[in-house]
Structure 1
């Protein structure tokens, strides 16, 4: 099923000059991954502390974009410059789950959102990523199937942040969250199928 993840190759091409400069400067993929993780935790904490701050909500799409860029950069650094390690894979997978939780769970504290929907969505996101990882155990291929993968979640919550900052009616916000939950369930199903279908 189509997902924003399909655009990753073109996005990586745009980031190639940055990757080359970081490699020349001696930066490692793990440093990039941890930087994205720290940024996510700090910003998510700010949203949790100041859930009514419109400026933070408007800034979130840019933070999510930077996080996606850093996530692409660490992979390119690892593959292109022979820096792939088991520790790097572990840090990468764990940081994705922690970052998602840190950035999205604070939405439960925002007045116009229905907190249980946000919490359920975050749980489903964790399950989706865990399913993708388990696919490696079963089929030796990481499952990235959508329609609600990491990039799709970032886009959706960036949009949600913008809608919230412009006082979008509560029922529309929660309808969007309900749709995101349904798409997350479909993602989990698709990743299970992908894991079981590979010979």
Structure 2
């Protein structure tokens, strides 16, 4: 199923010249990974201290875009400039879920939003990423299947932030977050199913 993640190769092509300059300057993939995570944690802290503040909500789509760019850059530095490492692989997976939690859990503090549902949405996102990693454990590839991968979640919460600037929370926001939960659940099932299918095909 197509997801925003499918646009990653084109996005990487745009970033490649900048990535080359970073590599020439001695910047490492792990440094970029940690910077992206630190940026997410800082925004999350600001959001918790100022729940629903318009300036925080306006910043979120910008932070998400920068994070997406940094994530693409750290991957290119690792693969294309010989910086891949076991530590980098661990950091990449851990900081992704930590950053997601930092950026999205503060929505639970916004008055009028269904806090339990927000928490469920974030937890399902974490489980979806864990499911993708489990694919490697059973002999498949790291699964990035949709319909609601990391990039899709970022788009969703970025759009939700913009909508909350324009409209007060209400039934519409509850329905949207419930829909995000359903898409995450579908992603967990899809990644599990396709990982098993990949292993079966490899053994047949």
TM-score class normalised by the smaller sequence = over 0.9
SS at 1:139 equivalent: coil
Contact in 2 for aligned 1:112/1:164 (Cα 8 Å): no
Partner of 1:155: 155
SS at 1:30 equivalent: helix
Partner of 1:57: 57
CA deviation vs aligned residue, 1:23-56 (integer Å, no higher than 9, x gap): 0000000000000000000101100110031111
Distance in 2 (CA, whole Å) between partners of 1:52 and 1:12 is 32
C-alpha RMSD over aligned residues: 0.8
Partner of 1:86: 86
TM-score of the pair, normalised by structure 1: 0.98
SS at 1:108 equivalent: helix
Partner of 1:29: 29
Partner of 2:180: 180
Partner of 1:19: 19
* Cα drift, residue 169 of structure 1: 4.5
How many aligned positions are there? 199
Distance in 1 (CA, whole Å) between partners of 2:12 and 2:74 is 11
Aligned pair 1:171/2:171, yes or no?
yes
Partner of 2:120: 120
Which blocks of at least 5 consecutive residues in structure 2 are unaligned? none
Distance in 1 (CA, whole Å) between partners of 2:65 and 2:35 is 14
Displacement over 4 Å in runs of 4+: none
Which blocks of at least 5 consecutive residues in structure 1 are unaligned? none
Distance in 2 (CA, whole Å) between partners of 1:49 and 1:9 is 36
